[in-house]
Amino acid sequence: MNFNIATIPGDGIGPDIIEQTILVLNKLGEKYGHSFNFTEVLGGGVAIDKTGEPLPKETIEICKKSDAVLLGAVGGPKWDNLPGDKRPEQALLGLRGELGLFANLRPALLHKPLKDACPLKPEIIGDSLDILVVRELTGGIYFGERGRRNGKYGEEAYDTEAYSVKEVERIARVGFEAATKRNKKVTSVDKANILESSRLWRSVIEEVAKDYPEVEVNHMYVDNASMQLIRNPKQFDVIITSNMFGDILSDEASMLTGSIGMLPSASLAEGSFGLYEPIHGSAPDIAGQNKANPIATILSAAMMLRYSFNLEEEALALENAVTKVLEEDYRTGDIMSEGMKLVGTKEMGELIINALQ
Ligand code: IPM
Ligand code: MG
């Protein structure tokens, strides 16, 4: 089969890790008889430098015409002092909004060979951890009305959290569907003791839950959820939550795996279209030095094979290749530990390609 992929290497280590991911996908395509056509487009700081905009119109158009988007990372100190709407991060928010990417899947998977990287005690974590955070990505306070006004104490700023029944329902369905293929447990995280938007959220989750009698559902306030993730992370299977709570809890969950350089993500629209990117940032300090860990991006490509192209066998082959390389003790600097074999970005890409055969 033939697939068109728009790539947005972006800033910092973005180009390093996208380069390896393209090589890996080409090899996989060769092996399974698919052809992946890549079109590179601008986004983030590099787009600001070249066009004055973090997300040029052309980028959005090419992404819309593609079957999926693969993104490296955006941002860096060079652009940190620009006004809010001109910052590289706007490329991400713009893509999410323009492409309708409402469902953000962030798996926090502790790979067995890396289990010592988990900062929690072994008796809490056992020898593995597998949590899927399903974050609503195009609504809530990220996209609500915001501004400045004259308030009781003079100038004030405000941001608003708003959720419609429709928005909660569609993210809930993504979460429940995922749970049916996993351990059949959903934890919906909200702040329903305070927020009206959370009370609506909770009632919609209850409604959707009726369609999934085989899935156990519970509700948790976000403050408690952040504590439970540390106290007893194994109680979680799928966490469904709002845009901002998901932003915060997914960083916390990722830390349980000890290595943000390993975690992929998928941002899905209605249908099969999606944008795939590593969870980590652009790490400008090691950009272009053959030091970055390409695994999170390569695992994001595996999610792309699974969710956008419906190529489960190929996705598994890629994930198994990554596991094999880790079991053979190869590590990039970010996940290096004593007795392991240190390799660079390119060598890690080559090792994964070799493990594919
Ligand atoms: C993330 C990031 C983004 C977010 C930023 C960079 C806009 O933190 O993807 O989690 O807050 O959503
Ligand atoms: Mg975040």
Nearest to 178 by CA among 252, 244, 239: 239
Work out which ligand 1 atom sits closest to the CA atom of 104. 9
Ligand 1 residue neighbourhood (C-beta within 6 Å): 89, 92-93, 247
Pick from 256, 290, 305: which residue ends a domain? 256
113: in domain? no
The answer to whether 156 and 149 are in contact (CB under 8 A) is: yes
**10 φ/ψ angles, rounded to the nearest 5 degrees:** 75, -140
Tell if the pTM clears 0.85, that is, is over it: yes
Encoded tokens for 82: 């620009």
Whether residue 1 is found in the same domain as residue 28: yes
Distance of CA 110 to the CA centre of its chain: 15
Work out which ligand 1 atom sits closest to the CA atom of 247. 10
Residues with CB under 5 A from ligand 2 (ion): 247
| H or E, element range at 156 | strand 154-159
Specify the pLDDT at position 126: 87
SS3 186: strand
Specify the pLDDT at position 128: 86
Encoded tokens for 36: 């992946």
Distance CA 355, CA 285 (A): 29
Pick from 256, 289, 322: which residue ends a domain? 256
229: in domain? yes
| H or E, element range at 266 | strand 264-268
- Sign of the CA dihedral with 256 first, then 261, 267, and 273 last: negative
CATH code of the domain covering residue 331: 3.40.718.10
Distance from the alpha carbon of residue 247 to the mean position of ligand 2, in angstroms: 4
Specify the pLDDT at position 141: 98
Whether residue 210 is found in the same domain as residue 148: yes
Whether residue 250 is found in the same domain as residue 305: no
Q: Tell how strand 264-268 and strand 103-110 pair up.
A: antiparallel
Catalytic site positions: 142, 191, 223, 247, 251
- Write out the residue range of the structural domain in which residue 340 sits: 1-107+259-357
Q: Tens of pLDDT along 16-66?
A: 999 999 999 999 999 999 999 999 999 999 999 999 999 999 999 999 999
Mutate to test the pocket of ligand 1, among 82, 89, 243 (most ligand atoms within 8 A of CB): 89
Q: What's the number of domains the chain is made of?
A: 2
**6 φ/ψ angles, rounded to the nearest 5 degrees:** -85, 130
Spans of the chain, pLDDT less than 70: none
48: in domain? yes
